[in-house]
Amino acid sequence: MRNEDVKNFLTHHRSRVNPEVYGFSLQQRRVKGLRREEVAQLAAVSVSWYTWLEQGRDISISPAALQRIGKVLQLTLTEQSYLDALIFGAKSQPEPAAIPHEVKVMVDALSPHPAFIRRANMDILYWNEAASSQIFDWSQIAEQDRNSLKLMFISDEYRQRIHQWELAAKHTLAAFRTYYVASNHAEDFEQVIEDLTARSEIFRSMWHRQDVSKFGAGNKAIIDNKGKITHYTYSALEVESAPGIFLIFYLSRAGQ
């Protein structure tokens, strides 16, 4: 699966680059973006080697060569980190940890502000009363579906709560993809992907996009049952004593 991810990622980002930026003509091109031989030339690698890289073959790859390719493809730092993890694998990680009791107490103490705990694969594990009333009541959902990415696509109620749903779904997908490639526990993510692939046509269409992003902080707007939109900023903090466990804190802009 990761070989296919390498191919899709490189071909997608190669197609985004304007050849004229590097002095190449736009004439007589059957596809958008740079050709393989142009990427190879600019990155100072052989055409056959770059072709094998795109095909996901088992070849010797140096970090320096991958950095040069990333520069040619105009990758962001997040995109370059994603490509590095695809090629070289994720850093060593312990097994997913249990939620420390102190972290649960902290989440409860953050009321009246919404806060919840999730894993890197977007599984929702714990939440406070404010999150249940202001964001979403996960207790009404089957435990195997308490996952932010899943709910984006399989729950009409959840979808209706998200202002500018398509934009939020794209961002959640991009963050999920980034967590996925950085994890040593791919099975936790692949179960989510397989389930959504079987249950959501919209997910199947959107999953093939190659956007990646980080989820550290941002903005989200939630629509309540009366149609009122509340704007929040949020922060995601990984628990140092429990790698792979994240505390998500929402702050209403009206309360700032």
Whether 117 and 81 map to the same domain: the answer is no
- 63 within domain boundaries: yes
- The CATH number given to whatever domain includes residue 80 is 1.10.260.40
- Asked whether the CA dihedral 35, 28, 32, 202 is positive or negative, the reply is negative
Given 55, 88, 121, the domain boundary residue is: 88
Given 62, 88, 114, the domain boundary residue is: 88
Given 53, 88, 123, the domain boundary residue is: 88
Whether 106 and 26 map to the same domain: the answer is no
Which single residue is written with the structure tokens 């792979």?
A: 244
- 95 within domain boundaries: no
β-pair partners for 246: 118, 238
> How many distinct structural domains can be found in the chain?
2
Structural element, H or E, at residue 221: strand 217-223
Question: What's the pLDDT at 243?
Answer: 82
DSSP state of 45: S
Q: Which two tokens stand for residue 21?
A: 């930026």
Q: Which domain holds residue 186?
A: 101-255
Whether 72 and 149 map to the same domain: the answer is no
- 170 within domain boundaries: yes
Whether 39 and 141 map to the same domain: the answer is no
Whether 64 and 124 map to the same domain: the answer is no
- The CATH number given to whatever domain includes residue 239 is 3.30.450.180
Give mean pLDDT in consecutive 10-residue pieces for the chain, a chain of 256 residues.
Answer: 80 92 89 92 94 87 91 89 82 68 96 95 96 95 96 95 94 90 83 95 88 82 91 93 91 76
* Nearest CA among 106, 6, 111 for reference residue 59: 6
Measured CA to CA, the distance from residue 6 to residue 57 in angstroms comes to 10
Distance between first and last Cα of the chain: 44
- 96 within domain boundaries: no
Q: In the structure, how many helices (H) and strands (E) does the chain have?
A: 12, 5
Whether 120 and 70 map to the same domain: the answer is no
Whether 82 and 110 map to the same domain: the answer is no
Cβ(169)–Cβ(152) under 8 Å?
yes
- Put residue 227 in one of left, alpha, beta given phi > 0 → left and psi -120 to 50 → alpha: left
